[in-house]
Amino acid sequence: MGERPGDVLVHMRINESLVHGWDLARATGQVTSELPEDLAEQTWRDMIDVDLTGEWHAAKAAIPHLRAGGRGGSMILTSSELGLRAMPNTGHYTAAKHGVVGLMRTLALELAADFIRVNALAPTAVDTPMVMNSATYRLFRPDLENPTADDMAEASRAVNALPIPWVEPADISNALLWLASDESRYVTGITLPVDAGWLVK
């Protein structure tokens, strides 16, 4: 079977981790927004394939390497704030990211005997091209015909408890590094929000 959307990115992330000798695996995803009645079947499948099946492919590829190392390790999946709550017009994304949380919890139980910890990150909006684009601006500001990053910032800031519109990539990296480090050696099966307090608001 040929590679599908997301497979290349997933393999890249796994290979980066294994080539550098880390006992770490991490996967990523994509996001789009559409009304449920307008959502094309292919869009649903692509979202599930990239954001959920891609995480499973990454885990499946990493598990034998982590086990073979005999030192345990850390597998970190990428969910989302929407893996812990819901938002209109994101059913396919929200379903995929909730699925990632379920997959992570199951893997945490299945791999614990090998001292392989499995956790997930749940970021809010992050200042990256995946978020900083016209589709996301419209998701946050459907009331405007051509919203900008500044328009989105106002709406995004309103959902966070901390008065910021989004987090920086370094904030996600720092959380990932903590989950991968010995400082979290007994932390497994959690979804760590890096969300400026969106979940508690």
> Cβ-count burial of 51 within 10 angstroms (0-12 exposed, 13-18 middle, 19+ buried)?
buried
Burial letters 70-108, b for 16+ CB under 10 A, else e? eeebbbbbbbbbbbbeeeebbbbbbbbbbbbbebbbebb
* 3-state secondary structure (DSSP) of residue 6: coil
> Cβ-count burial of 14 within 10 angstroms (0-12 exposed, 13-18 middle, 19+ buried)?
buried
Q: Which residues contact 156 (CB under 8 A, 6 or more apart)?
A: 125, 140, 165, 166
**Is-catalytic flag, 137?**
no
| Phi, psi at 78, each rounded to 5° | -110, 110
Distance between start and end Cα atoms, the chain: 44
Q: Inter-axis angle of helices 7-19 and 54-69, to 10 degrees? A: 20
Closest to 31 in 3D by CA, of 43, 42, 21? 43
Q: Which of 23, 66, 93, 108 is catalytic?
A: 93
The residues assigned a catalytic role are 93
